[in-house]
Structure 1
Amino acid sequence: MKAVVMAGGQGTRLRPLTSNQPKPMVPVVNKPTIQHILELVQRHGINEVVMTLAFLPRLIRNYFGDGSSLGMRIDYTVEETPAGTAGSIRLAKDLLDDTFLVISGDALTDFDLSSVLSFHKEREAAVTIALKTVANPLEFGVVIVDEEGRIQRFLEKPGWGQVFSDTVNTGIYVIEPEVFDHIPEGQPYDFSHELFPKLFEMGKPLYGMVCEGYWQDIGSLEQYLQANRDALDGKVRLTPPGVRLRGNIWVAQGASLDTLDDVEGPAVIGENVRMESGSKVLSHTVLGANTVLRCGAQVRDSVFGENVYLAPGATVEGAVLGNAVEVHENAHLSEGVVVGDRSIIGRNAVVANNVKIYPFKNIDPGSTVRSSIVWETRGPSTLFGHNGVRGLANVDVTPEMAMRLAMSYGTLVGKGSYVATSRDTHQASRVLKRAIISGLNSTGVNVRDLTTAPLAVNRFDIK
């Protein structure tokens, strides 16, 4: 028996975590998600695996190699152009001459795969789909089966008015090689949208088995954090790296802690982590390898990549940090913040809830960041200074921000007042001035527009 592990996902909704790595390599409790899947199939007696790759395939191949370090044999296929879920499996046709298992490398599960395989053989099915009962089926493909498990109906990502079942497709399949005859070559082809409905219409024996156990699609940052929390709480059967100590605390080799009293479980402390006396790790925290927490640093309900540095007084709550992130003195990262690889958070900076900072960004000391930083290289230090509002056009100072500022000012000076406006010759100034005029007019303020004029002329006009 072989398993096909689908590992071609880009994970666009997981960015900035997936800006520099494929989605299956995103770590859950300090192991790539796909490694948890490989360990799962190995527990059920499957030691030969074919991985289907697409996005940044070299990172996965370099990490796992031929699989010998895990006691497995791993072969690879690479999509040069998008092939769809079924099309990517067809690329591995020459490696699959018997019944095989298909499983996603970017969803976390501990299903009893042996029982799914037995179910498939007992019913002599062409395809068996592992199903899971969920509270909200809107994001998944819904499947309904009869008493024997034979599939009666499919529906991909229904609206509430279309929901006819709460059992959904988990992306785990047992498939007979004869199915390859129905997957066209050289074009994108999907399991759920095309292949399974086609086989259903042909009357092929398609079955679904409702599985017990844990299953979590890691498709968003919220789901990613939840998967780590569930792993720490023991809701999914997996093994974090390291030794389990009191209070459900896992400590890996080489970690340096003065005392466990500074760590509140559940938590995972990675290899060579250094926690200085006075630093605190509170519950549901994962620290990646080589992380350093200086005296007074505090972390709660967060997931760190490797080589993260927290300076004295830095606090991180409910955030995700990529690799080699630096958080300097007394900086604060709030709930839902995600910081990409090799970014630097300056001292006394504050990053507000749900802000995403993409890789290689610098946040200036003392700044307050309330919106995501994607393209620009630096976060603003402050917009309001002694000489007015300053910042990069369309980055720090946007037309919307200029209009809102003008509306605030308009309510301050009062309805019927007169305000003179002018600008320089730059196109950005033209856009921002029009936004300001719109904001002032909306509050009942009269505007004398001097079009293009020096600031001294504007002041003279006011006098």
Structure 2
Amino acid sequence: MSESPVQAVILAAGEGRRLTPLTNRRPKPMLPVANKPLLDYIVEAVAAAGIDHLTLVVGYHQERIRNHFADGDEWGVTITYVEQPTQLGTGHAVLQAESAVDGPFVVLNGDRIIEPEIIERVAAAVKDGTHPVVTTTTVETPREYGVITTDGETVTNINEKPDGPIETNQINAGIYGLAPEFFETIRTTHTTGELTLTAALNEYAREAGGIERLTYTGQWLDVSNLWDLLRVNAGLIETTTTGNSETGRTHDRASVANDVVLADSARIGSNVTIGGNTAIGRNVTIESNAVVENAIVFPDTVIGAGTVIRDAVIASNVRLGPNVTITGPPDTMVIEDTVHHDIELGGVVGDNTTIGPSATLTTGAVVGDDVETDAAVTIDSRIAAGTTVRRG
């Protein structure tokens, strides 16, 4: 048994390319859901699990993370930062934390929301031994994750995003318990391309005959694609609010559903309807007669009068003109050559973009940063950053 307290290493260096344009100016772990960055929920869970020393592995736009969390005092923890300047894989990221770790530690992803209970279980398991611990959970789409092969209560292999037939919906949950000795396992792992943590675990499993497994059935919210933000936002609102947090300036003729998170500096006009599963950020203005439902609106955005937004994510400092419509039926989207069917995403608008009056975004339109559009245009595809969209 180790005498050192268990620490936590949180991997937060990634860019999140599948989430562009929202990650052009911020790292993926700093994307807001229910009006807080994803990473906030992970740090809170680690603190609630009784771990008070965290190492954050940062890289892409790391200043956003460092400025937000500082030394960790606001969360009741001590935070050390280490840098992964080039994203060379999760195994490489963990190696960057070696100098900051002096005992057993729990590794977590900075964009995957879990409950404190599983962190406590992993910490207890790794404190009592030198062998790695892997957590597993059940999902409806195992092919998108690391599918596990088991032998009783041990994991013998983790197959990342397999192409062939899948016989289980059990996946690697991405919460690991490791001892300092595992750094050498990572260093000596033979792999092509990125050095992933799962490759090192698979090598260990081959040599040792398996890895201890802990099964997890609690909340597990993962953000891989743009539409996942809406699902995670809804899940967090459902589990963390008992009524709307309406503290902004809201007109007495506005209608705000109970399952809404509303920043205290938001301004809501007359006859506005804010439907369920919606998060409205700081300094957002929603003008009269607008409708916003199942949406995330980042800070400092203005939504014009009569605009209708459903199933959408609107970034910061956006200007949506009057009578804009962002909505659409479930549709097919292609992300990095992968086809996703029946996606409920009306649209996404990047930072500092201006959408002209009476414009329509539909069927998962993704509008980049710094775009300007004419009035009454229709957008149903991806628009590159800096584009001017003319009518006709």
Normalised by the size of structure 1, how large is the TM-score? 0.75
Query: In the TM superposition, what are the counterparts of 1:95-174 in structure 2 within 5 Å?
Result: 95-110=100-115, 112=117, 113-121=119-127, 124=129, 126-147=131-152, 149-161=153-165, 163-174=166-177
Q: What SS class does the counterpart of residue 165 from structure 1 fall into? A: coil
2:245 counterpart residue number: 250
The alignment status of 1:301 with 2:307, answered yes or no, reads no
1:118 offset after TM fit, Å? 2.8
Indicate which of 323, 331, 353 corresponds to 1:343: 353
Indicate which of 28, 39, 42 corresponds to 1:37: 42
1:119 offset after TM fit, Å? 3.7
1:284 counterpart residue number: 277
| Aligned counterparts of 2:127 and 2:385: Cα–Cα separation in 1 | 52
2:367 counterpart residue number: 357
Specify the code of the residue in structure 2 equivalent to 1:115: R
**Contact preservation (8 Å) 1:126, 1:205:** no
| Aligned counterparts of 2:160 and 2:238: Cα–Cα separation in 1 | 32
**Contact preservation (8 Å) 1:325, 1:340:** yes
| Aligned counterparts of 2:383 and 2:40: Cα–Cα separation in 1 | 31
Specify the code of the residue in structure 2 equivalent to 1:144: T
| Structure 1 residue ranges without an equivalent (≥5) | 384-463
Specify the code of the residue in structure 2 equivalent to 1:176: A
Specify the code of the residue in structure 2 equivalent to 1:88: A
**Contact preservation (8 Å) 1:266, 1:283:** yes
2:60 counterpart residue number: 55
Query: In the TM superposition, what are the counterparts of 1:390-409 in structure 2 within 5 Å?
Result: none
2:390 counterpart residue number: 380
1:266 counterpart residue number: 259
2:335 counterpart residue number: none
1:205 offset after TM fit, Å? 6.0
1:24 counterpart residue number: 29
Indicate which of 69, 75, 79 corresponds to 2:84: 79
| Aligned counterparts of 1:99 and 1:260: Cα–Cα separation in 2 | 56
1:216 counterpart residue number: 221
Query: In the TM superposition, what are the counterparts of 1:438-449 in structure 2 within 5 Å?
Result: none
Q: What SS class does the counterpart of residue 25 from structure 2 fall into? A: coil
Q: Which moved more, 1:112-121 or 1:83-92?
A: 112-121
1:42 offset after TM fit, Å? 0.5
**Contact preservation (8 Å) 1:87, 1:185:** no
Specify the code of the residue in structure 2 equivalent to 1:39: E
2:3 counterpart residue number: none
1:135 offset after TM fit, Å? 2.0
Specify the code of the residue in structure 2 equivalent to 1:323: S
1:260 offset after TM fit, Å? 8.2
| Aligned counterparts of 1:165 and 1:47: Cα–Cα separation in 2 | 36
CA RMSD in angstroms comes to 2.0
2:338 counterpart residue number: none
Cα distance, 1:268–1:354 mapped onto 2, change above 3 Å: same
1:449 counterpart residue number: none
| Aligned counterparts of 1:82 and 1:283: Cα–Cα separation in 2 | 37
Specify the code of the residue in structure 1 equivalent to 2:378: T
| Aligned counterparts of 1:126 and 1:82: Cα–Cα separation in 2 | 27
Specify the code of the residue in structure 1 equivalent to 2:274: V
Indicate which of 312, 315, 318 corresponds to 1:319: 312
Q: What SS class does the counterpart of residue 365 from structure 1 fall into? A: coil
The alignment status of 1:310 with 2:327, answered yes or no, reads no
1:189 counterpart residue number: 195
Q: What SS class does the counterpart of residue 135 from structure 1 fall into? A: coil
1:392 counterpart residue number: none
**Contact preservation (8 Å) 1:119, 1:209:** no
Specify the code of the residue in structure 2 equivalent to 1:118: A
Specify the code of the residue in structure 2 equivalent to 1:366: A
**Higher RCO (C-alpha under 8 Å, 6+ residues apart):** 2
2:75 counterpart residue number: 70
1:375 offset after TM fit, Å? 4.2
Q: What SS class does the counterpart of residue 49 from structure 1 fall into? A: strand
Residue-by-residue CA offset, 1:298-326 (whole Å, 9 max, x unaligned)? 11111100011112111111111000111
**Contact preservation (8 Å) 1:138, 1:160:** no
Q: What SS class does the counterpart of residue 302 from structure 1 fall into? A: strand
Specify the code of the residue in structure 2 equivalent to 1:157: K
| Aligned counterparts of 1:154 and 1:307: Cα–Cα separation in 2 | 43
Q: Which moved more, 1:54-63 or 1:29-38?
A: 54-63
Specify the code of the residue in structure 2 equivalent to 1:67: G
| Aligned counterparts of 1:152 and 1:182: Cα–Cα separation in 2 | 16
**Contact preservation (8 Å) 1:167, 1:210:** no
Cα distance, 1:160–1:229 mapped onto 2, change above 3 Å: farther
| Aligned counterparts of 1:117 and 1:165: Cα–Cα separation in 2 | 27
Indicate which of 322, 327, 331 corresponds to 1:334: 327
| Aligned counterparts of 1:135 and 1:311: Cα–Cα separation in 2 | 38
1:258 offset after TM fit, Å? 3.0
Cα distance, 1:261–1:295 mapped onto 2, change above 3 Å: closer
How much identity, in percent, do the aligned residues show?
26
| Aligned counterparts of 2:58 and 2:311: Cα–Cα separation in 1 | 32
Residue-by-residue CA offset, 1:35-85 (whole Å, 9 max, x unaligned)? 100000000001111011121111211111111222211111112233321
Q: Which has the larger radius of gyration?
A: 1
Indicate which of 191, 194, 206 corresponds to 1:201: 206
1:185 offset after TM fit, Å? 8.2
**Contact preservation (8 Å) 2:303, 2:321:** yes
Indicate which of 213, 225, 229 corresponds to 2:230: 225
**Contact preservation (8 Å) 1:111, 1:211:** no
Q: What SS class does the counterpart of residue 23 from structure 2 fall into? A: coil
**Structure richer in helix, relative to its length:** 1
Normalised by the size of structure 2, how large is the TM-score? 0.88
Aligned residues: 366
**Structure richer in strand, relative to its length:** 2
